[in-house]
C-alpha cells in the first residue's frame, strides 16, 4: 500500500432548510437537497443514419425505484410575552392552548427492498418529522414509518406497504473510479423525477464538516435542494451513492455535489433494520494528525499522511493488536488514510467483531498489525451500581467511539428512575454537574456528592441536551 502525501484544502459550508415554499438560504453552504427534466437541449435520435446512445432505456428501469418524500413537523409557536401574563389572558378571555405551526419539507428516497418495503434516504430529510409520506413513481402516496436513523452518517430507513414496488440494484461502490459516468435522480425544488448526468469527480472526500463520519463521492452531476436521499447510479442503472449535499457559494449548483457511497449506506441500513440504531464498536486508541513537523521529528518524510498514536487504552482491542504510543498509522485494511479524522471515519464504519488490518510505522520500520473492533456493550453495568438515580439503565465504560468522549447508555427500562431522569437508549453522558467524566467511577463519585441533585449534559443523536433534577 503506497502511503499518501499531504495536500491542503479548505471548505466552508452551512446548512439550508426547505419549508412550504421550499425556500433556500445559503452562504458557502451545505445545501439540503429534493422528480424528468434536462438542463441541456435534446440530441437527435440519429446522426448520419446511426442511432445515438441514450440513457432512456436504463432510466425506465431505475426511475420507478425513486420516490418523493414529504414531511410535516409541528412546532409550538412562541407566544408574545403578554400572552404569558395570567391577568392579561383572563381580562381578554384568551384560551390556554398554545399556537402551533407546521413546517413542510421535501426530499427523495430509494426503494432498496421491495419485499419488505424498505426505503433509503437521508437523516436530515426526515429529522424531527411528525408525519412522513412517500409518493411513488406511479402517483401513489403512502404513509411511511421510521425504521431507524443515524445522524452521524446522515442515513435513515423508512418502511412503506410492500405492494407492487420496484427495488434498485446496488453496485460495489468501492470499484468506482474518478471519471466514471454517473446519473443523479431526485425531486429538486419539487420537480418530480429530474435526471442529471456527470462524472465521478473525486472519491473518499472527508473533512468537509457535513457529517460525523464522511467518505463522500464527489460528482459534477447537477444536484439541487430536494435531491437529498435520491440515487446516484452508474450507466448500468445500479446504485453507487445517495445524493446528500452540494457546495453552493451563491445559492446555486456549481458542479460540486456529494453522495454517500452505496456500500456505506447499505452497511448502515443493515444495522438500522437489525437494531433500530447503529451499534458502533470500540478500538481504544487516541490519535492526532501527523503534521510535517511531527513527521520530521520522527525521521519520516514530512509530506507523509497518517495518524500519530497519542494513547492506547489498557485492555482495549488496540492494545491486543499490539499498537503502541508513538506508532504512526498509515492505512486501514489496505487503504491509506489522510489523518486522524479519516481514521475515525474508517473505524466508525466498521462493525463490532470485524477484523481490521493496520499499516503502521514504528521507529522508521513499516509493519502490519491485525486486531478486532471491540464490543463496548459487553462491558455494560446496571446504572443502579452507580447511583439510585440511574436505576433501570445499562451504562458502558467511558469511550471516544461516538465522536465525543462520554459514557454510553445501552438501554433504559420504561418507567424506571433513569427513564424519569430523561435518559434514553443510545444517549451519551458527557458531563455531570458541570464536570467532565472519564470513567463510571468518576460519575459515581460526583453523583454521590450531589445527594440526589444533578445536572447531566448528554449527546442524543446530533443534539446536545441538559438533564437536571433540583
From 150, 152, 154, 220, active-site residue: 154
Whether residue 227 is annotated as binding a ligand: the answer is yes
154 belongs to the catalytic site: yes
CA distance linking residue 332 with residue 374, whole number of Å: 16
CA distance linking residue 159 with residue 142, whole number of Å: 10
**CB-based contact 377:278 (threshold 8 Å):** no
3-state SS, residue 465: strand
* Residues in CB range of 452: below 8 A, 6 or more apart: 388, 389, 469
From 31, 173, 228, 317, active-site residue: 228
Grid cell of 348 as nine digits: 466508525
**CB-based contact 309:321 (threshold 8 Å):** no
**CB-based contact 87:94 (threshold 8 Å):** no
Whether residue 263 is annotated as binding a ligand: the answer is no
123 belongs to the catalytic site: no
Whether residue 401 is annotated as binding a ligand: the answer is no
User: If you write DSSP's letter for every residue of 194-242 in order, what string do you get?
Assistant: EEEEEEEEEEEE--SSSSSS--EEEE-S---TT-TT-EEE-TTS-EEEE
CA distance linking residue 204 with residue 346, whole number of Å: 11
CA distance linking residue 280 with residue 278, whole number of Å: 6
Whether residue 123 is annotated as binding a ligand: the answer is no
How do 257-261 and 285-289 pair as beta strands? unpaired
Q: Could you tell me which of 376, 415, 367, 371 has the C-alpha nearest to residue 393?
A: 415
Q: How far is CA 244 from CA 15, 106, 107, 365, in A?
A: 12, 13, 10, 40
Whether residue 400 is annotated as binding a ligand: the answer is no
How do 15-16 and 29-31 pair as beta strands? parallel
93 belongs to the catalytic site: no
Whether residue 421 is annotated as binding a ligand: the answer is no
From 70, 108, 123, 124, active-site residue: 124
Q: Please, what sign has the CA dihedral across residues 318, 323, 328, 330?
A: negative
Q: Where is 102: in which H helix or E strand?
A: strand 100-113
Helix then strand then coil, % of the chain, to nearest 5: 20, 35, 45
Q: What do you get for the CA distance between the two ends of the chain, in Å?
A: 57
Whether residue 124 is annotated as binding a ligand: the answer is yes
Whether residue 226 is annotated as binding a ligand: the answer is yes
**CB-based contact 454:432 (threshold 8 Å):** yes
Q: Is 207 exposed, middle or buried (0-12, 13-18, 19+ CB in 10 A)?
A: middle
Return the active site residues.
Answer: 124, 154, 228
Q: Residues forming the annotated binding site?
A: 124, 154, 226-228, 244-248
Instruction: Please give the annotated binding residues for substrate, written as ranges.
Output: 124, 154, 226-228, 244-248
Amino acid at each position: 500500500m503506497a502511503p499518501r502525501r499531504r495536500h491542503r484544502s479548505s471548505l466552508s459550508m452551512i446548512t439550508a432548510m426547505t419549508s412550504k415554499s421550499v425556500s433556500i438560504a445559503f452562504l458557502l453552504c451545505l445545501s439540503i437537497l429534493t422528480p424528468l427534466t434536462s438542463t441541456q437541449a435534446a440530441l437527435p435520435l440519429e446522426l448520419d443514419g446511426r442511432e445515438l446512445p441514450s440513457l432512456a432505456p436504463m432510466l425506465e428501469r431505475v426511475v420507478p425505484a425513486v420516490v418523493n418524500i414529504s414531511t410535516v413537523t409541528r412546532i409550538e409557536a412562541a407566544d408574545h410575552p403578554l400572552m404569558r401574563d395570567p391577568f392579561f389572558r383572563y381580562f381578554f378571555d384568551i384560551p390556554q392552548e398554545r399556537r402551533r405551526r407546521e413546517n413542510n419539507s421535501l426530499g427523495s428516497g430509494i426503494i432498496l427492498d421491495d419485499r419488505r418495503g424498505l426505503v433509503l434516504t437521508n437523516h436530515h430529510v426526515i429529522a424531527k418529522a411528525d408525519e412522513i409520506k412517500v409518493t411513488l413513481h406511479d402517483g401513489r402516496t403512502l404513509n411511511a414509518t421510521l425504521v431507524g436513523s443515524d445522524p452521524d452518517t446522515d442515513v435513515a430507513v423508512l418502511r412503506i406497504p410492500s405492494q407492487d414496488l420496484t427495488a434498485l440494484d446496488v453496485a460495489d461502490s468501492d470499484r468506482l473510479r474518478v471519471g466514471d459516468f454517473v446519473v443523479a435522480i431526485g425531486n429538486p425544488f419539487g420537480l418530480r423525477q429530474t435526471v442529471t448526468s456527470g462524472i465521478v469527480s473525486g472519491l473518499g472526500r472527508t473533512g468537509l464538516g457535513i457529517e460525523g463520519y464522511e467518505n463522500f463521492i464527489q460528482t459534477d452531476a447537477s444536484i439541487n435542494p430536494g435531491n437529498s436521499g435520491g440515487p446516484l447510479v452508474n450507466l448500468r442503472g445500479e446504485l453507487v451513492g445517495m445524493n446528500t449535499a452540494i457546495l453552493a457559494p451563491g445559492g446555486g449548483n456549481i458542479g460540486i455535489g456529494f453522495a454517500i457511497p452505496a456500500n456505506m449506506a447499505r452497511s448502515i441500513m443493515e444495522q438500522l433494520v437489525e437494531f433500530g440504531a447503529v451499534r458502533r464498536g470500540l478500538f481504544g486508541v487516541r490519535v492526532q494528525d501527523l503534521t510535517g513537523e511531527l513527521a520530521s521529528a520522527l525521521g519520516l518524510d514530512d509530506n507523509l499522511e497518517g495518524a500519530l498514536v497519542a494513547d492506547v487504552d489498557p485492555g482495549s482491542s488496540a492494545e491486543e493488536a499490539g499498537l503502541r504510543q508513538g506508532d504512526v498509522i498509515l492505512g486501514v485494511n489496505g487503504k491509506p488514510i489522510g489523518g486522524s479524522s479519516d481514521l475515525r471515519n474508517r473505524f466508525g464504519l466498521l462493525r463490532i467483531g470485524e477484523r481490521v488490518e493496520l499499516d503502521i510505522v514504528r521507529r522508521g520500520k513499516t509493519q502490519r498489525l491485525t486486531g478486532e473492533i471491540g464490543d463496548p456493550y459487553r462491558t455494560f453495568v446496571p446504572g443502579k451500581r452507580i447511583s439510585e438515580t440511574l436505576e433501570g439503565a445499562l451504562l458502558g465504560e467511558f469511550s471516544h467511539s461516538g465522536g465525543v468522549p462520554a459514557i454510553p447508555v445501552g438501554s433504559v427500562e420504561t418507567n424506571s428512575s433513569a427513564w424519569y431522569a430523561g435518559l434514553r437508549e443510545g444517549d451519551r453522558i458527557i458531563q455531570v454537574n458541570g464536570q467532565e467524566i472519564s470513567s463510571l467511577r468518576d460519575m459515581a463519585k460526583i453523583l454521590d456528592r450531589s445527594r440526589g441533585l444533578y445536572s447531566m449534559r448528554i449527546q442524543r443523536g446530533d443534539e446536545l441536551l441538559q438533564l437536571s433534577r433540583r
